[in-house]
């Protein structure tokens, strides 16, 4: 246990160093394996284990035991129980037991004005009953259903958080949390939950003023959602997975996406909460915008040019990602390790970098396990400053 | 090409939905042949495709373009014409999102662009099991099978589908293209598909090239026969 404590201190120091602008002893490693991956890795049934979460500790433990990471490498954002109680249309299970987000329309195009005038009321009155079919009922049944769902949510999350605590202690993970809170860029919220990808794409042409106003109207709610209950600290960040921007024209991004998103990240930073962005897809044409965000915004990139990112953002922000998990599936062990070395050579100089994959492997067969372990071991033991 | 025709192409290119529909309706009423109108709209769509390739347009624009195209096809005079004439198709594609994956955006864009390029498309929807792909290919005898996926684990699922075509001895009867942002040349080889695409427009380009080859060799057979 003393060893684990010492290890945790050392690992915490690595992350504090990159956030405080010091060069750490070595490149810190923080990878995340979603619950679906962990369940399959532990040899459990995907559907059963998501419903019966009493096996979760054993499941997560196996991932922690076998895959190197300096911070807790497991997490579960969603469980089917509360979505099922709500009759959710926005998160449903595929035939393979994998919870996914299908295209949904929580708000009709002709209802934009209602949302813009009072987003909160519109969410309660119109959007929730549409996204959650069990809330499309009389007021008292609705209240009971919502109470039941929240009970299930609290139970599941409480259990998960307790397990996180135990595993953090057991394996000596560092005390830095890049998933301390969760929110969305305002336009992503309007797209993902209200209008759908196809809906927002056509709205930007058909009713541009309303799209702009809706993103603006959603901003205070997104700020509120991102202010997590963990006391403000520069070492705990709110997670914001970015979605729509790379699929839009630059001029549309400038008008519909960027202003409200910037406002969100700045408001969180002012309240003492840094943001951890999953920079999905390719954002290379937006790097100058990302530069404008408050110092020490954590940015994990999926695709793009690591050299350019290091050059443009590496002095101000915390960079991560880029390692292609597709290579873990198809490459030889040596190719996989060479790729890690190549990325570290580009991204590590000067600090402000931790190692992570370009995206989380959603299921066990997304990667070759041996390659994955080899790469993590390689980085943990060879990436010294 | 007269001014109105040029204007129509320009409106399609610039995704001016209302203007496209208004002008299309007007041109049809003035007696333009539906096939001619389709050619003009297709030219506009090609320009949209070029703007996409030059990175002036993005996926959101392709979705809008697809919707405009669909609406033109749904104009009364267009449906009346194309209901009776099916002989202008250049190839048949069976398309679906593979087992376990319920995403449909990429597949739908691909479908729209295939249709805009005169392909007949049989869309099997999302979360489609390998048995269904096999059965529907037997039923429809397509030139091309398109497998779509977003989730990273669809690589194995796509391989299983290709494998089942191999096992049943029908693999060489159909060209297989896999589509998804996570696919690479290496992954495509692993799956055993004939080619892959990270976006709809490159996928359509591959399919058209294949059809050029197939139609050319068929013509040769007919000529020689």
The per-residue pLDDT for range B37-54, each reduced to its tens digit, is 988 988 898 888 889 888
Q: A interface mutation test: which of B152, B159, B185 has the most A CBs within 10 A?
A: B152
What number is the ipTM of this complex?
Answer: 0.85
Calpha distance A19→A351 (Å, rounded): 9
Q: Give the DSSP H or E segment for B146.
A: strand B144-148
Buried b or exposed e, range A149-166, using 16+ CB within 10 angstroms: beebbeebeebbeebbee
Of B64, B129, B182, the CB nearest to A205: B64
> Degrees (nearest 5) of the Cα angle A355, A352, A169?
60
Contacts of B41 (CB under 8 A, 6+ apart): B8, B9, B12, B20, B24, B69, B72, B116
From chain A, the residues in CB contact with B127 under 8 A are 94-95
Instruction: Tell which residue, B92, B70, B69, B62, has the closest CA to residue B175.
Output: B92
B126 → chain A, closest CA residue: A94
- Could you tell me which residues are beta bridge partners of residue B96? B147
Which of residues 90 through 109 in chain A touch B, CB cutoff 8 A?
92, 94-96, 98, 100, 102-103
* Contact assignment for B60 to A252 by CB distance below 8 Å: yes
Calpha distance A326→A336 (Å, rounded): 10
Number of inter-chain CB pairs under 8 A, A vs B: 95
Return the domain boundaries, chain B. Answer: 3-84, 91-221
The domain made up of B3-84 has a fold known as 1.10.1240
Interstrand relation of B175-179 and B144-148 (parallel, antiparallel or unpaired): parallel
Instruction: Tell which residue, A27, A29, A341, has the closest CA to residue A171.
Output: A29
Of B15, B58, B152, the CB nearest to A366: B152
A100 → chain B, closest CA residue: B102
pLDDT digits (tens, 9 = 90+) for A223-258: 999 998 888 999 999 999 999 999 999 999 999 999
pLDDT digits (tens, 9 = 90+) for A267-281: 999 999 999 999 999
Q: Which CATH architecture has domain B91-221?
A: 3-Layer(aba) Sandwich (3.40)
SS3 content of chain B, % helix, strand, coil (to 5): 60, 10, 25
Q: What is the CATH number of domain A2-103+130-187+227-382?
A: 3.20.20
| SS3 call for A217 | helix
* Confidence label for B203 from pLDDT (cuts 50, 70 and 90): very high
**pLDDT at position B224, please?**
62
| Residues above pLDDT 70, as percent of chain B | 95
Which of residues 28 through 87 in chain A touch B, CB cutoff 8 A?
none
**pLDDT at position B62, please?**
85
* Contact assignment for A249 to B102 by CB distance below 8 Å: no
From chain B, the residues in CB contact with A329 under 8 A are 152, 155, 187, 190
Closest CA–CA distance from residue B150 to any residue of chain A (Å): 11
Contacts of B75 (CB under 8 A, 6+ apart): B21, B24, B25, B28
* Confidence label for B82 from pLDDT (cuts 50, 70 and 90): low
* Contact assignment for A206 to B57 by CB distance below 8 Å: no
Of B104, B127, B155, the CB nearest to A103: B104
Of B61, B102, B152, the CB nearest to A325: B152
* Contact assignment for B60 to A102 by CB distance below 8 Å: no
pLDDT digits (tens, 9 = 90+) for A48-98: 999 999 999 999 999 999 999 999 999 988 899 999 999 999 898 888 788
For the ranges A222-236, A252-266, B91-105, the maximum mean pLDDT occurs at A252-266
**pLDDT at position A93, please?**
87
Burial of B220 (0-12, 13-18, 19+ CB in 10 A): exposed
Is residue A340 within 8 Å of A379, Cβ to Cβ? yes
* Confidence label for B100 from pLDDT (cuts 50, 70 and 90): confident
Q: A interface mutation test: which of B12, B14, B56, B58 has the most A CBs within 10 A?
A: B58
* Contact assignment for B105 to A94 by CB distance below 8 Å: no
- For the whole model, what pTM was predicted? 0.86
């Amino acid at each position: 246990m003393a060893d684990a404590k010492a290890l945790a201190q050392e690992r915490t120091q690595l992350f504090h160093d990159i956030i405080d602008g010091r060069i750490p002893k070595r490149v810190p490693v923080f990878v995340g394996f979603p619950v679906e991956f962990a369940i399959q890795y532990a040899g459990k049934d995907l559907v059963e284990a998501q419903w019966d979460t009493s096996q979760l500790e054993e499941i997560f433990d196996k991932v922690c035991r076998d895959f190197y990471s300096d911070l807790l490498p497991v997490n579960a954002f969603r469980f089917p129980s509360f979505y099922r109680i709500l009759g959710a249309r926005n998160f449903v299970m595929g035939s393979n037991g994998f919870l996914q987000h299908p295209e949904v329309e929580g708000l009709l195009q002709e209802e934009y004005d209602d949302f813009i005038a009072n987003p909160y009321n519109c969410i309660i009155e119109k959007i929730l009953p549409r996204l959650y079919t069990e809330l499309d009922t009389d007021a008292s049944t609705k209240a009971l259903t919502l109470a039941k769902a929240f009970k299930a949510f609290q139970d599941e999350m409480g259990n998960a958080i307790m397990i996180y605590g135990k595993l953090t202690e057991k394996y000596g993970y560092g005390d830095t949390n890049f998933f301390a809170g969760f929110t969305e860029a305002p336009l992503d919220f309007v797209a993902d939950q209200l209008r759908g990808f196809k809906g927002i794409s056509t709205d930007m042409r058909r009713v541009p003023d309303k799209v702009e106003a809706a993103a603006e109207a959603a901003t205070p709610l997104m700020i509120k959602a991102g202010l997590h209950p963990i006391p403000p600290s520069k070492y705990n960040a709110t997670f914001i997975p970015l979605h729509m921007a790379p699929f839009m024209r630059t001029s549309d991004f400038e008008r519909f996406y960027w202003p409200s998103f910037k406002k969100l990240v700045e408001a969180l930073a002012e309240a003492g909460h840094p943001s951890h962005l999953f920079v999905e897809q390719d954002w290379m044409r937006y790097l100058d915008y990302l530069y404008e965000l408050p110092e020490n915004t954590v940015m994990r990139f999926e695709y793009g040019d690591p050299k350019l990112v290091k050059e443009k953002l590496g002095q101000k922000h915390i960079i991560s990602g880029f390692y292609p998990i597709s290579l873990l599936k198809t490459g030889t062990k040596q190719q996989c390790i060479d790729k890690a070395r190549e990325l570290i050579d580009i991204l590590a100089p000067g600090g402000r970098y931790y190692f992570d994959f370009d995206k989380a492997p959603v299921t066990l067969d997304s990667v070759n396990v041996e390659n994955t372990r080899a790469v993590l071991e390689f980085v943990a033991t060879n990436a010294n400053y | 090409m007269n001014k109105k025709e040029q204007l129509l192409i320009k409106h399609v290119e610039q995704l001016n939905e209302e203007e496209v529909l208004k002008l299309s309706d007007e041109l049809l009423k003035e007696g333009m042949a539906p096939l001619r109108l389709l050619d003009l709209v297709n030219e506009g769509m090609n320009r949209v495709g070029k703007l996409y390739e030059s990175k002036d347009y993005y996926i959101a624009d392709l979705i809008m373009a697809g919707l405009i195209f669909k609406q033109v096809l749904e104009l009364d005079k267009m449906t009346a014409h194309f209901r009776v004439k099916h002989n202008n198709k250049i190839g048949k594609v069976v398309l679906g999102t593979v087992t376990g994956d319920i995403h449909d955006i990429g597949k739908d864009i691909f479908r729209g662009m295939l249709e805009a390029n005169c392909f007949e498309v049989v869309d099997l929807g999302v979360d489609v099991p390998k048995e269904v792909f096999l059965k529907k290919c037997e039923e429809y005898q397509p030139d091309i099978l398109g497998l779509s996926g977003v989730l990273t684990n669809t690589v194995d699922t796509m391989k299983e589908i290709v494998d089942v075509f191999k096992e049943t001895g029908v693999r060489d009867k159909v060209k297989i293209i896999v589509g998804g942002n996570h696919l690479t040349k290496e992954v495509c080889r692993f799956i055993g598909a004939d080619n892959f695409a990270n976006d709809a427009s490159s996928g359509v380009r591959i399919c058209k090239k294949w059809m050029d080859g197939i139609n050319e060799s068929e013509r040769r057979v007919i000529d020689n026969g």
